[in-house]
Amino acid sequence: MHRRIEDYALIGDEQTAALVGRDGSVDWLCLPRFDSAACFAALLGDEDNGHWRIAPEGAELCTRRAYRPDTLVLDTEWDTAEGSVRVTDLMPQREHAPDVVRIVEGLGGRVRMRGLLRLRFDYGSVVPWMRRSDGHRVAVAGPDSVWLRSEPPVRTWGEDFRTHSEFTVEAGEKVAFVLTWHPSHRPRPPLSDPFEALETSVQDWRAWAARCRYDGPHRDAVVRSLITLKALTYAPTGGIVAAPTTSLPEELGGVRNWDYRYCWLRDSTLTLGALLSAGYHEEAEAWRDWLLRAVAGDPAALQIMYGLSGERRLSEYEIPWLSGYAGSAPVRVGNSAVEQLQLDVYGEVIDSLSLARRSGLPSRPHMWRVECAMMEFLRVAWRQPDEGIWEVRGPRRHFVYSKVMAWVAADRAVRTLEDDPTLDGDIEGWRAMRDEVHREVCERGFDPVRNTFTQSYGSTELDASLLLIPRVGFLPPDDPRVVGTVDAVRAELAPDGFLVRRYNTTTTTDVDGLPGDEGVFVVCSFWLADALHLTGRTQEARTLFERLVGLTNDLGLLSEEYDPVAGRQLGNFPQAFSHIGLVVSALSLFGVDEAEEADGAVPPG
């Protein structure tokens, strides 16, 4: 039986992350990076594909669990007939190598504990050779080596390619386990002190969380979302992964299972705005700089996503030995959507760089040249059909949102030149392009009978991305066409007025080219709240936001999608885009968003 997605917690060290279940089992961990092969892959298969459980003997789900306030340090507690015990899980900021620290502490009585470690490298397919060295357990297979130690030492033995441990704790007693990875051809890294690592981690996370400038309603949810975004940041480069997982399904038993352990350009403007508005300028600058490095080169070769360091080859393949979460196969590594043409990313990149400039982030010498090169490519390319924001695997179309973002690119380029006439650029040519795109979208992408913009030219279908039209400044929020679009999307894609689908998968299989269905897309519901607020319905928006915050799990985490029928989370977890949506909506509804990218936009027509 697979645990529900919301039964998992996240721990991480800003270079990789692990998922810990309510039963005390670490079921997912990729080492040494987010995009490395997993050594614990039970999440996508079964226990023999790798996991590490520490729990009271005979116990199942914990009694309670929580993050220590304003940290990514997890406390999981069990009350048993013999007593109570706590397991504290964390991944300290690494100095030499990645560590997973698990500290067992007796709270009352005398509790017998059991540990079971199954290390399985390469996504659960490789059983390592285990040996003892200096009182530690050492696992080696090919390029990977993992050391396991406990302080103080406890009884540990190997059996059936598993490592068992058994010990008891009384009130006040502590036993720490440390699992450390390093390349097998190199010496073991210096040992870290697990108890000192716990104290330092708590202090560091709380100092970071204290920088948050937001002080409105649901501050805890906002801070938790920001901590999650920080945890999904690859610290060496500043890139932010969409999620730490691959192939958690958008439909249980379905095939809509994708690898999200990469950095998407479509998240860039909202991420940058959220970080800047919340007071995290260093992180915003690091993300902006990652963006500039990733997109450098031929504008025609711009990708929708890149690796943690800006890698471009993200070839997709399937892993046949993993059965998939709840039987949802195939399990995929890599993402072939990297090869798609999505014209909206040009608008998102230029919008992000414009936002960074207006927000006072230090400029980079080549930044404007990059924008100009993109504009010269987009001047012609915007007329093409593309795969759209949702990476559909059907035929290319003239998606309205893609055209709107081409307008955004031209608009932000023009405004940059208006603000700084010393810069070189074809301001008149870009103004003409902006006007032409705007005119065409209003003529070909709008249904006057239903008073709504549509998913693509000539289509009758709707798309949740249309909710962003007022945010980006394409039309004023009080324009009747905007109000009509918001109402139409809410009526057709959110019949309960609450949870919004990206588009209608039951009637548009020719668009996405995939069988089956999917859940509602969490960030789209936040977009609806934002659109309601912009169109003057702030109380409705706040009510919707309150309900959306209620979708988080007990730890404040959100996945990509939600199944309203089964009442459970779906898709990769936790999802950066969902948490970005929460932060942006909170800032919009209850705070002052100084990084509002649509400020001052004067759309033509």
Q: Taking Cα atoms as reference points, which of 593, 578, 596 lies closest to residue 224? A: 578
Answer yes or no: do 390 and 502 share one domain: yes
The CATH number of the domain where 510 resides is what?
Answer: 1.50.10.10
Across 12-35, b (16+ Cβ under 10 Å) vs e yields bbbbbbbbbbbbbbbbbbbbebbb
Residues facing 593 on adjacent strands: none
**Quick one: average pLDDT of 19-26?**
98
Separation CA 347–CA 359 (nearest Å): 18
Separation CA 403–CA 264 (nearest Å): 19
Q: How many CB atoms lie within 10 A of CB 367?
A: 17
- How long a stretch of residues is the chain? 605
Q: How confident is the model at residue 392 (pLDDT cuts 50, 70, 90)?
A: confident
Residue 61 in any domain: the answer is yes
Separation CA 262–CA 68 (nearest Å): 28
| Whether residue 602 has pLDDT greater than 60 | no
Token pair 């949810």 in the structure block, residue: 221
Sign of the CA dihedral with 476 first, then 479, 481, and 484 last = positive
**Quick one: average pLDDT of 174-193?**
95
Q: Give pLDDT tens digits for 523-577.
A: 999 999 999 999 999 999 999 999 999 999 999 999 999 999 999 999 999 999 9
Q: How confident is the model at residue 512 (pLDDT cuts 50, 70, 90)?
A: low
Given a contact cutoff of 8 angstroms between Cβ atoms, the answer to whether 160 and 194 are in contact is: no
Separation CA 269–CA 259 (nearest Å): 22
The CB-side HSE value for 547 (13 A sphere, CA atoms) comes to 18
φ, ψ dihedrals at 88, nearest 5°: -105, 125
| Whether residue 158 has pLDDT greater than 70 | yes
- Choosing from 156, 186, 207, the residue where a domain stops is 207
| Whether residue 605 has pLDDT greater than 70 | no
Separation CA 103–CA 76 (nearest Å): 10
Given a contact cutoff of 8 angstroms between Cβ atoms, the answer to whether 593 and 277 are in contact is: yes
Q: How much is the mean pLDDT over the chain?
A: 94
Looking at residue 495, its pLDDT comes to: 84
Residue 295 in any domain: the answer is yes
Looking at residue 96, its pLDDT comes to: 87
Provide the residue type at 557 as one letter.
L
Residue 182 in any domain: the answer is yes
Sign of the CA dihedral with 583 first, then 584, 590, and 592 last = positive
Answer yes or no: do 500 and 571 share one domain: yes
Residues facing 180 on adjacent strands: 99, 147
| 67 token code pair | 């993050």
Answer yes or no: do 554 and 422 share one domain: yes
Query: Is residue 283 within a helix (H) or strand (E), and if so which, with residue range?
Result: helix 281-295
Looking at residue 516, its pLDDT comes to: 73
Looking at residue 408, its pLDDT comes to: 98
Q: Give pLDDT tens digits for 518-533.
A: 889 999 999 999 999 9
Q: Give pLDDT tens digits for 336-380.
A: 999 999 999 999 999 999 999 999 999 888 999 999 999 999 999
Write the CA distances from 5 to 8, 247, 575, integer angstroms.
Answer: 6, 12, 12
Given a contact cutoff of 8 angstroms between Cβ atoms, the answer to whether 411 and 434 are in contact is: yes
| Whether residue 484 has pLDDT greater than 80 | yes
| Whether residue 508 has pLDDT greater than 90 | no
Residue 604 in any domain: the answer is no
Angle at 179 between CA 174 and CA 180, to 5 degrees: 135
Q: How many CB atoms lie within 10 A of CB 478?
A: 11
The CB-side HSE value for 250 (13 A sphere, CA atoms) comes to 21
Q: How confident is the model at residue 510 (pLDDT cuts 50, 70, 90)?
A: low
Q: What is the DSSP letter of 266?
A: G
From its phi and psi, is residue 335 left (phi > 0), alpha (psi between -120 and 50) or beta?
beta
Answer yes or no: do 225 and 187 share one domain: no
Looking at residue 597, its pLDDT comes to: 37
Question: For residue 190, what are the domain limits?
Answer: 5-207
Q: What is the CA radius of gyration of the chain?
A: 25
| Whether residue 600 has pLDDT greater than 50 | no
**Quick one: average pLDDT of 274-289?**
94
**Quick one: average pLDDT of 484-501?**
94
Answer yes or no: do 132 and 269 share one domain: no
Answer yes or no: do 16 and 60 share one domain: yes
Residue 605 in any domain: the answer is no
Please state the domain count of the chain.
2
Q: Give pLDDT tens digits for 223-250.
A: 999 999 999 999 999 999 999 999 999 9
Looking at residue 593, its pLDDT comes to: 46
| Whether residue 599 has pLDDT greater than 60 | no
Query: Is residue 25 within a helix (H) or strand (E), and if so which, with residue range?
Result: strand 25-30
- Choosing from 189, 207, 225, the residue where a domain stops is 207
Residue 416 in any domain: the answer is yes
Answer yes or no: do 282 and 197 share one domain: no
The CB-side HSE value for 483 (13 A sphere, CA atoms) comes to 6
Helical spans, DSSP H, in 389-515: 400-419, 427-444, 469-472, 480-493, 509-512
Answer yes or no: do 203 and 236 share one domain: no
- Choosing from 175, 207, 239, the residue where a domain stops is 207
The CATH number of the domain where 196 resides is what?
Answer: 2.70.98
Looking at residue 268, its pLDDT comes to: 84
Separation CA 87–CA 89 (nearest Å): 6
Secondary structure of residue 191 in the 3-state scheme:
coil
Q: Give pLDDT tens digits for 1-18.
A: 689 999 999 999 999 999
In this predicted model, which residue has the larger pLDDT, 394 or 182?
A: 182
| Whether residue 263 has pLDDT greater than 80 | yes
| 144 token code pair | 């990977």
Residues facing 165 on adjacent strands: 115, 156
Answer yes or no: do 171 and 235 share one domain: no
Looking at residue 518, its pLDDT comes to: 84
Q: How confident is the model at residue 598 (pLDDT cuts 50, 70, 90)?
A: very low
Q: Give pLDDT tens digits for 72-131.
A: 999 999 999 999 999 999 999 998 899 999 999 999 999 999 999 999 999 999 999 999
| Whether residue 513 has pLDDT greater than 80 | no
Q: Give pLDDT tens digits for 435-466.
A: 999 999 999 999 999 999 999 999 999 999 99
Residue 471 in any domain: the answer is yes
Answer yes or no: do 396 and 479 share one domain: yes
| 483 token code pair | 């109000």
Residue 603 in any domain: the answer is no
Answer yes or no: do 198 and 98 share one domain: yes
**Quick one: average pLDDT of 191-207?**
97
Separation CA 244–CA 145 (nearest Å): 21
Looking at residue 507, its pLDDT comes to: 61
Given a contact cutoff of 8 angstroms between Cβ atoms, the answer to whether 502 and 490 are in contact is: no
Answer yes or no: do 246 and 141 share one domain: no
